[in-house]
Amino acid sequence: MDKVFGSAAEAVADVGSGRTLAVGGFGLCGIPSTLIEALLEAGVDDLELVSNNAGVDDWGLGRLLAAGRLRRIIASYVGENKEFARQYLAGELEVELTPQGTLAERMRAGGSGIPAFFTATGMGTQVASGGLPWRYDRSGNVVVASPPKQTQEFDGTEYLLERAITADFGLVRAWKGDRHGNLVYRDSARNFNPLAAMSGRVTIAEVEHLVEPGEIDPNQVHTPGVFVQRVVLLTPEQAATKRIEKRTVRA
């Protein structure tokens, strides 16, 4: 089955307002920037995002944030995005902060058909007992807080129950892909991309290089095509556009 779409705009055309999106990347590394721009141009809003973080103020998911298109984010890191922090503290955005490893496993579990799992991460904290502020009002009062989570003892150790995450759409970026949707990521750009691809019911991949089926060694495939429904080939200019979050140089 040929899964290649003619453009990013065509690939995201049915991503409507109010949908949940799992987005790959870590900081600005490996983010599906072209698909994000297509969503921005499409005008969809009221989105819930599942992503490690929200990029920076003027690039990646920060572009959707600045345009006021996001309703809720499940993430592990606010980090370098001042607008992300401002919207959260001003009561404009609901944020569910989740330990990074737990977030990764929640996404993987969603793609594996596992509804929930037990983990020791967060035991003895508000992650387990509840009360973490998810949404403030404009006066700084907590109006939505995390609920307490079910705990259970296994072999003398307490664990808490975490729910899997399944998103309506997954957005990822790969170094190489074929027409069947098999993907290969390069170096650290692998990060959250395989997990976002698994988590999405419909996954859209932007790829820097498109090859024919059979040209990728099966042993080198990071995301099998069964998890990918749409593929978009980037132009050379789009493929070369890779922002650096923090540039550090020697004197």
Q: What is the pLDDT of residues 214-224, one digit of tens each?
A: 999 999 999 99
Say if 135 falls within a structural domain: no
Can you give the residue range of the structural domain that contains 82?
Answer: 4-115+164-240
Looking at residue 219, which CATH number applies to its domain?
3.40.1080.10
pLDDT of residue 219: 97
Phi, psi of 146 (to 5 degrees): -65, 140
Say if 191 falls within a structural domain: yes
Say if 137 falls within a structural domain: no
Count of C-beta atoms within a 10 Å radius of residue 144: 16
Say if 35 falls within a structural domain: yes
Say if 248 falls within a structural domain: no
Residue 192 and residue 30: Cα distance in Å, rounded?
Answer: 8
Using 50 as the pLDDT threshold, list the residues of the chain that sit under it.
none
Say if 139 falls within a structural domain: no
Q: Number of structural domains, the chain?
A: 1
Say if 134 falls within a structural domain: no
pTM for this one?
Answer: 0.94
Q: In 3-state terms, the chain is what percent helix, strand and coil (to 5)?
A: 25, 30, 40
pLDDT of residue 80: 77
Say if 77 falls within a structural domain: yes
pLDDT of residue 25: 95
pLDDT of residue 77: 86
